[in-house]
Amino acid sequence: MKLRHKLLIIDDEPQIRRLIHAALARADYESVEASNAREAMERLREERPDITLLDLGLPDRDGLELVPLIKKESDTTLIVVSARDMTDEKVAALDLGADDYLTKPFDTDELLARVRVALRNRVSREGGTARVQAGDVSIDFMAHIVTKNGREVHLTPKEYGVLEQLAKFPGRIITHKQIMDHVWPHEHEHHVEYLRVLIRTLRQKLEDDPQRPRLIGNELGIGYRLRLEPEGE
């Protein structure tokens, strides 16, 4: 028996809602729609969606304000889908609790990939996993062992800390702040340059070609993402 996942589409543009609805239907997901913040909160309570796609430009309320409200109201996975492309807003949405961010214009394949990642993370969060496999790299959370092509890779504790944060939610953007809060919990002022250095050494140890990283993806000014299926050129 297959469980149909339910998604809530919050967007004031009917064309966008129709497009996303069609794409989700093609991938056999069920979807409900809301065109403003008030409706969105009602649907959220009534329908208990697994994933919520939120447009930030709503007629009755700023979408950014809605992010913490939605997270408080339900345990839905929140993906922000917005035409706002300023880095600050993306970081704000993620730090406020959004699970992912997609910039308009997007293509529907990208959207579906993000939805798949989100659903897998929900499953792993519920069931709990001891191991994550990303390409030829495997991370064992219990034993703190990282292997590449079956051979153990030696990582410093800090390097492991970074990788662990990324691997906990593979495929999802983890902001600089989220990583650094974990790796340097006692530093009040975060230095992105330290993180950049760690990422570079991690890549040198894990990537096939460190000059063209595929495993650890960079999101400009926002954070990093561990790719489960490293993309080709």
Q: For residues 29 and 7, is the Cβ–Cβ distance under 8 A?
A: yes
Pattern 123-162, binding to other proteins, x per CB under 8 A?
---------------------------------x-x----
Which residues from 22-81 bind other proteins, rule CB under 8 A? none
- Could you give the CA distance from residue 45 to residue 203 in angstroms, rounded to a whole number? 43
Sheet holding 145-148, edge to edge: 131-134, 137-140, 145-148, 151-153
Which class for 123: exposed (0-12), middle (13-18), buried (19 or more C-beta within 10 A)?
A: exposed
Between 23 and 119, CB nearer to other proteins: 23
Sheet holding 174-175, edge to edge: 174-175, 223-226, 216-219
Is 187 a binder of other proteins (CB under 8 A)? yes
Name the minimum Å distance from CB 231 to other proteins.
9
Instruction: Name which position in 36, 210, 228, 230 contacts other proteins (CB under 8 A).
Output: 210
- Could you give the CA distance from residue 228 to residue 164 in angstroms, rounded to a whole number? 14
- Total binding residues toward other proteins, as defined by CB under 8 A: 27
Instruction: Name which position in 88, 140, 181, 229 contacts other proteins (CB under 8 A).
Output: 88
- Could you give the CA distance from residue 177 to residue 91 in angstroms, rounded to a whole number? 9
Is 223 a binder of other proteins (CB under 8 A)? no
Between 28 and 189, CB nearer to other proteins: 189
Q: Which helix (H) or strand (E) holds 67?
A: helix 63-73
Instruction: Name which position in 198, 206, 215, 226 contacts other proteins (CB under 8 A).
Output: 198
Which residues bind to other proteins, rule: CB under 8 A?
87-88, 105, 156, 158, 184, 187, 191-194, 196-201, 203-204, 210-213, 218, 220-221, 233
